[in-house]
Structure 1
Amino acid sequence: MQDCLSQELNRLLTDEKITTLLQPIVNIEKKNVFGYEALSRGPSDSTLHGAQMLFETAERCGLTSELDGLCLRTAARSWSGQGTPLKLFVNVSPAKLMPPEFNPSQLQELLETNRLKASDIVIELSERYPTADPSELLKTLSWLKAEGFLIAIDDLGSGYSGLKLWSELKPDFVKIDRHFIRDIQDDLVKREFLRSVVELADRLGCKLIAEGIETDAEFRVVAGQGISLVQGFLFGRPKPVATACLDALVVKPAQTNKLPRQETAGSL
């Protein structure tokens, strides 16, 4: 089975058979789409179609950096020419940002080829993966910020070094892992965690994004804590690039009527 998955992954990398989908990140205060997260998928008929299987296989095969590179190129090509002022959030593994993998000239070429600006791109760094040399990673991230890229810490609370990286890097965004959002209305510990993170973000001048909101009840708690940027199935599922960008022009109401008007996704 592992050999089959390895062969399939190598085929996808060679043929560049990766598709970019976009999921909206919504500003519930301004009632508009703030940006999109680029999500990568394999072919629909492939055993590596799903993101989890795709990236877990790449990690086992030692091909995470190669897959990251292909996903970045595909996302850039897909986003190129859309003409939208919205932010594009892209996921990058720490390994891709470490020497000798990180190549500033290739990154600049990627932007120029696809007519993109650094200030339009938010680089999401997941804390799920350990970093072999944190000092080198911080050097790269500091360079990216100086060039105009925005930085987000993804999956806060899910892994290794989120709070430490937060304190050292001072990111523009911190995305709260969906584990702390799921059924938060029934879990006092999750609500206290969220409250603490909101207070810390306010003090550090950082914007929070609550991930994985799927129900009205979860949304009510998140909105009540003062978090304005949200992401999840309640606001939109991942869609092909052209369809998602069309939705950005006219934000359609989510199917919910259970919340007071000032708090509802429907008020979008």
Structure 2
Amino acid sequence: MAFQPIVNVQTGIVLAQEALLRGKDGAGAGWILAQVSDDNRYVFDQTCRRTAIEVATAAGLAATDALLSINFLPNAVYEPRACIRMTLETAERSGFPLDKIMFEFTEVERLDAEHLLGILRAYRSLGFHTAIDDFGAGYAGLELLSRFQPDFVKLDMALIRDIDSEPVKRGIVRHMIRMLADLGVELVCEGIETEAEYRVLRDLGVTLMQGYLFARPELERLPVPVWPAEAPDLAAAG
């Protein structure tokens, strides 16, 4: 597991560290996920959850105020409360607080909306935070959001890339900010790589950000954010 922070650019606080898959040879998550099949999906998903908690605990995350964000595969969950058992046992054994775990998902393939809603509602009832990742890119769209409001929505990075030079993207993000605020959902913009992108998002009112501009993923370590030069107060605090 590698970790990459989600930061609050207004307060200079790390909201969460996202656990990211990496192969032993440095292979990214895409290559690893391509090896997942119906035969190994459940074991793979369970192993990722356990490993994320164990490595995060060893890296000292439990001693901070930041959340641990774990990606999960909805199609690997046959029954939410049964499939969460290993997560609960691992967290208890590792001494990692359950209320500091966030589950985020991306729908990479279609699935039963009722099944997905059942998972999200069960996780919320157990005290976990929830997030929709890559919003605007997968099948998880406005219809799902109308039926369940997660704690966070992570906007797909395709809408963030070059937002400083593309007015249409700025308009979409501006309206997304207003809509999510009305729903009581916090917006995270991910994939931020340049100070120009950061400036536009900051001026639009985005406070939660993630991307190479702040920190690249680090294997089995919690990266310390680097703040943009245009945020001298945060840079001094960091």
Fold match by TM threshold 0.5:
yes
Residue deviations 1:93-121, cap 9 Å, x none?
11123338952433321221221222101
Partner of 2:45: helix, strand, or coil?
A: helix
Deviation at 1:174, TM superposition (A): 0.2
Query: Which of 103, 109, 119 is residue 99 of structure 2 equivalent to?
Result: 119
Partner residue in 1 for 2:139: 160
Distance 1:68 1:139, change over 3 A: same
* 2:177 corresponds to 1:198: yes
TM-score (norm 2): 0.89
Return the letter of the residue paired with 1:123.
F
Amino acid at match of 2:48: C
* TM-score normalized with structure 1 length: 0.80
Aligned counterpart, 2:47: 70
Higher Cα radius of gyration: 1
Quote the Cα distance in structure 1 between the aligned partners of 2:236 and 2:109.
36
Give distance in 1, aligned partners of 2:68 and 2:78: 22
Aligned counterparts, 1:168-247, within 5 A: 168-242=147-221, 244=222, 247=224
In structure 2, runs of 5+ residues without a counterpart are none
Within the candidate set 87, 106, 116, 2:86 is matched to: 106
Query: Is 2:7 aligned against 1:22?
Result: no
Q: Taking structure 1 as reference, are residues 233 and 201 closer, same or farther at Cα in structure 2, changes over 3 Å only? A: same
Q: Which has the higher helix share?
A: 1
- Paired residue for 1:137? 116
Moved more, 193-202 or 111-120: 111-120
> Once superposed, what is the RMSD of the aligned Cα atoms?
2.3
What letter matches 1:112 in structure 2? E
Contact 2:50 2:87 in 1 (8 A): no
Specify every segment of 5 or more residues in structure 1 that has no aligned partner in the other structure, as ranges: 1-19
User: Where does residue 14 of structure 1 map in the other structure?
Assistant: none
1:53-92 map, 5 Å: 53-59=31-37, 62-80=39-57, 82=60, 83-92=63-72
Q: Percent identity at matched positions?
A: 34
Range 69-78 or range 160-169, more displaced: 160-169
Instruction: Give SS of 2:6's match.
Output: strand
| Conserved 8 A contact 1:178-1:212 | yes
**How far apart are the structure 1 equivalents of 2:236 and 2:198?**
12
